[in-house]
Structure 1
Amino acid sequence: MDVSEITIPGDTPGTAWRLPVLRFASRDPKAPKVYIQAALHAGELPGTVLLHFLCEKLREAENEGRIAGDITIVPQANPIGAAQSHFGELQGRFDLGSRTNFNRDFPLISISDRATLIEGLDNYPATDRLKRQLLHMALGADLVLDLHCDDESLQYAYIDEAFWPEAADLAAALDMQAVLLSDGESSAFEEAVGFAWKYEIPGERRSRLPGRLSVTVELRGRRDVDPVLAKKDADGLWRFLVTRGIVGEEKAWPAGFSGPAVPLDNVEILRAPEGGAVLFHRNIGDRIAEGDLLATIVTRPGQPGGGIDLHAPQAGLILTRTSDRLVRRRGDLMKIACDNPSKASRKAGTLEN
């Protein structure tokens, strides 16, 4: 395993960040190349600990000559966000300087322009330098995995329709409970990677990308940083690498995925109509029917009519739930994967900021 560091100079004198990069060299130049990163939202750590245990297995495979394809791993992809705290609370989702989500505003370019990402880096602020270097590394691979987590959540993934159903082997290997089929219409990291491949010939869009994959994996919730889960997920990702011929192992696993795979238009987001204390009546993983009572918002405690009941707009599977119990007006409470499109309007792109 080769360990190197990318230094990202800060925007004020005397500051800089280091980005460790782990590389496992291949023995087969024809094998797919893999790029995996975690903690782009710095406080989302299930992916970081997964990669800690995965690298143990990869080092052993490397010593035995069983690494077929190049593997690049960035286990802590956002040192800038990891250094941001406000009154003792980590602020790793948004850059406090620009107020931009660390997983937005990645350059949308053709793969043919990959080299331009790291030209003139001194002209960019630190967060843009970070994003451009992460994207540059990823575009040197064939399979790109961006490991995140949600709040309280099942295991699921955002996968562009251009990679589905070929990517069902990843969903099966990681025992995902749902897949959300995205439309590739945002500047999030995994969609910027897909954009570059789709527009390999500028102006001509490819709708299918066989042999490629760019995916956001949601490894349950933020508090699911656990040695048992991390080792289980590392074993799952190992199975995926074996299935795709990245590492050599004789053992084979079934590649079936039995969970729902639904377009983003089929995701209902339950939002609070007013601020208050939230009482949940259903949990993540519950399958619900239309009209089921999901939550009560206590808006005026102790007063008649001081609570608002929220019901399921349609049947589905509860994917996520907020961990907050004091919620703001229009705050997101739940995401529900459904068989039918939501009646709520949705802009193309990500479900939330």
Structure 2
Amino acid sequence: MNVTEIVIEGDTPGIAWRLPILHFAGTKADAPKIYIQAALHAGELPGTALVHFLCERLRQAEAEGRILSDIVVVPHANPIGAAQSHFGEMQGRFDLGSRTNFNRDFPLISLRDRELLIENLDRYPAVDRLKRQLIHMALGADLVIDLHCDDESLQYAYIDEAFWPEAADLAAALKMDAVLLSDGESSAFEEAVSFAWKYEVPGEKKAKLPGKLSVTVELRGTRDVYPEMAKEDAAGLWRFLAARGAVQDDSVAPGGFSGPAVPLDNIEMIRAPQAGTVLFHRNIGERVAEGDLLATIITSPGMADGTIDVRAPQAGLIVTRVSDRLVRRRGDLMKIGSDRPSSVTRKPGTLED
């Protein structure tokens, strides 16, 4: 394993961040190149725990000559966000200076313009320099895995329809409970990567990208950071790498994915009609029927008419749930993966900011 680092100079005097990059050299020239990063939202740490144990396996495989692909691992992709704290709480999702989500506003370019990403970097603020260098590294790979987590959540992934159903092997290897099929219409990291591949020839869009993959994996919830869980997730990602020919492991047998694969238009975003204390009646992983009681919002504590019930607009699987119990008006409560499109019109792109 070779370790390098990218130094990102701050936008104010005396500040710099260091970004460690782990490299494993492959022995097979035609094996798919791999890029794995974790904690782009700096406080989302299940992925960092996963890659810690995955790298143990990779180092052993390297010593035994079983690394076939060039593999790049970024265990904590956002040192800028990790350094942000407000009243004792890390603020790792949004850049406090620009109020931009660290997983939005990645440059949308053609693959052939990849090197332009890192030209004249000094003209960009630190956050943009970080984003440009991350996506530059990713565009040198064939399989790109961006490890995130949700709030309270099942194991699931956002996968562009251009990679489905080929990417079902990743869903099976990581024992995902669901896959959300995205439309590739945002500037989030994994969709910026797929955009560059789709428009490798500017103006000519590819509908399918065989042999490629760029995916956001949601490793359950923010508090699901445990040693045995991380080791099992690392074993799952190892199985995927072995199945795709990135590492040699003859003991790996490919499995099948039996969970739902749901288009984003079929996701019911359950939101609080008013502010108040939320009392959940249903948990992640449960299937609900149309009209089922999902939550009660206490809007006026102690008053006879002080509650509002929130019910399921249609049947489906509860994929995520918010961990906060004091919710704002129109705040997110749940995502439910359903069999038919939601009646609420969705804009192209991501479900949330």
TM-score by length of 2: 1.00
- 2:194 maps to which residue? 194
Residue 255 of structure 1, CA deviation: 2.5
Amino acid aligned to 1:308: I
Q: Tell me the SS of whatever aligns to 2:214.
A: strand
Partner of 2:258 in structure 1? 258
- The one-letter code matched in structure 2 to 1:129 is R
1:127-150 Cα deviation digits (max 9, x unpaired): 000000000000000000000000
Partner of 2:91: 91
Q: How far, CA to CA, are the matches of 1:337 and 1:90 in structure 2?
A: 30
Residue 13 of structure 1 aligns to a residue in which SS? coil
Q: Which residue of 2 aligns with 1:239?
A: 239
For 1:36, the equivalent position in structure 2 comes to: 36
Q: Does 1:49 align with 2:52?
A: no
Partner of 1:214: helix, strand, or coil? strand
Match of 2:11 in 1: 11
**d(CA) in 2 for partners of 1:154 and 1:181?**
16
Q: State the alpha-carbon separation in 1 of the partners of residues 190 and 227 from structure 2.
A: 27
User: 1:23 — aligned with what?
Assistant: 23
Displacement of 1:252: 2.8
8 Å CA contact 2:158–2:179 kept in 1: the answer is: yes
Q: Which amino acid aligns with 1:346?
A: R
CA distance in 2, matches of 1:254, 1:202: 36
User: Equivalences for 1:171-190 in 2 at 5 Å?
Assistant: 171-190=171-190
Number of the residue aligned with 1:249 = 249
Note if contact 1:23-1:72 (Cα within 8 Å) is conserved in structure 2: yes
User: What are the within-5 Å matches in structure 2 for residues 58-207 of structure 1?
Assistant: 58-207=58-207
The answer (yes or no) to whether the contact 2:158–2:180 under 8 Å persists in 1 is yes
Instruction: Report the counterpart of residue 211 of structure 1 in structure 2.
Output: 211
* TM-superposed deviation, 1:254: 3.1
Determine whether 1:325 maps to 2:328. no
Rounded Cα–Cα distance in structure 2 between residues aligned with 1:100 and 1:122: 19
Quote the offset at 1:305 in angstroms: 1.2
* Amino acid across the alignment from 1:321: R
User: Is 1:300 paired with 2:309?
Assistant: no
- Partner of 2:224 in structure 1? 224
Query: What amino acid maps onto 2:282 in structure 1?
Result: R
Q: Distance in 1 between matches of 2:175 and 2:255?
A: 10
Distance 1:134 1:344 in 2: 34
User: Which residue number in structure 1 is paired with residue 285 of structure 2?
Assistant: 285
Q: String of CA shifts for 1:158-197, please: whole Å, max 9, x gaps.
A: 0000000000000000000000000000000000000000
Query: Cα deviation per residue 1:211-243 (whole Å; 9 max; x = unaligned)?
Result: 000000000000001001000000000000000
Aligned to 1:340: 340
Deviations 1:245-270 (A, max 9, x none): 00001113233000000100000010
SS at 1:181 equivalent? strand
CA distance in 2, matches of 1:305, 1:70: 62
CA contact (8 A) 2:36 2:144 kept: yes
1:56-98: CA deviation from partner (whole Å, max 9, x where unpaired): 0000000000000000000000000000000000000000000
Q: Does structure 1 conserve the Cα–Cα contact (< 8 Å) formed by 2:322 and 2:334?
A: yes
Distance in 2 between residues matched to 1:226 and 1:291, nearest whole Å: 36
- Residue 55 of structure 1 aligns to a residue in which SS? helix
Per-residue CA shift, 1:266-310, capped at 9, x if unaligned?
Answer: 000100010000000000000010000000000001111110001
Instruction: Please say if residues 191 and 214 of structure 2, whose CA atoms lie closer than 8 Å, have aligned partners that are also in contact.
Output: yes
Listed as ranges, the gaps of 5+ residues in structure 1 are none
Contact 1:168–1:255 under 8 Å retained in 2:
no
Q: Which runs of 4+ in 1 moved over 3 A?
A: none
Q: Distance in 1 between matches of 2:246 and 2:17?
A: 31
Q: Which segments of 5 or more consecutive residues in structure 2 lack a partner in the other structure? A: none
The amino acid of 1:115's aligned partner reads E
Contact 2:243 2:254 in 1 (8 A): no
Separation (CA, whole Å) in 2 of partners of 1:235 and 1:56: 11
CA distance in structure 2 between the partners assigned to 1:159 and 1:305 by the alignment? 43
Amino acid at match of 2:273: P
The percentage of counterpart residues that share the same residue type is 76
Amino acid at match of 1:338: S
- For these two proteins, the number of residue pairs brought into alignment is 353
Cα shift readout 1:7-49 (whole Å, capped 9, x = no counterpart): 0000001000000000000100100000000000000000000
Shift of 1:117: 0.3
